[in-house]
Structure formats: C-alpha cells, structure tokens
Structure 1
Amino acid sequence: MEEIAAEINDGGLGTAVALSDDIKDETYAQALVALALARFVHLDGAFNNAGIVGEMLPAADMRRGDRSN
C-alpha cells in the first residue's frame, strides 16, 4: 500500500497516505480516521473492503460483533 501511495503522490495523481493493518481491529479503524484527519483535516468518506462475511445490513445498522472472518 505504501508503494501505491507513493506512486499517486510522486506521479502527480493526487495525495495519498497508507496505513496497513487488520480492519477488523477497532483501534486500527480509529487510527485510520485519525490519520485522515491529521493529514487532510476532514474525511468526506471511506470505503473499506476487507472481504469480511456477515449479515448484509445497512452500515448504520451494523454493530460490533456482527461480522465473522
């Protein structure tokens, strides 16, 4: 991910940052938001596709523990 972020930054394609870990870890998810806020001041949206299987629900209805590996 760091290499992709570097390609985006160095190639003039935009501004990117990368932070790799396990998206199921709530501490990591919080760190992602903190990184975005520190670097970009705000976060308009995020798309985290980790391939986690669970009941198909609207994001607003999901709770911790609703997903499995």
Structure 2
Amino acid sequence: MLNGQIIREFRHQLGMNQIDFSNEIGISQQALSQAERGEMKVSERLRKRIVYRFHITEDEIQEIRRQLSERNPRTA
C-alpha cells in the first residue's frame, strides 16, 4: 500500500522534484503535494500510475516503509 510519505521518500530517492515526478505520472504538482502531505488519499489509480511508470515492486515499497519506520516509528 502506498501512502504519501512513501511516495515522497520514493521521489526523493529518485532525485526528482514534485513538478517532474507529477509530470511523469500525469497529475498536477498540487495533487502530488496534497497526497504527500496526507491531505488527499492515494487512489488505486494513482498507485498504478506510479508502479507502472517507475516499475516499483511491493518489496521496494516495503523497504521504503521499513526505512521510514526506523527513522520515526510513528511515520510508516
């Protein structure tokens, strides 16, 4: 399951800013920002766009979640 914190961390790992990342997945920068802040739920459609475009696996998502929880157990 993708949430905004995982998307933000993944984007940072790719070295992309919000504008470039949002352009790659076909949403506005504002929508991406809202999703990353938890103001907008990450829809199944958005999840599929990210997985398809960046070929991220469930294992990679779990690794990012683990990294976030190590930094701050309340985050992931």
Q: TM-score, normalized by length of structure 2?
A: 0.26
More helix by share: 2
- Asked which structure has the greater RCO (Cα within 8 Å, sep 6+), the reply is 2
More strand by share: 1
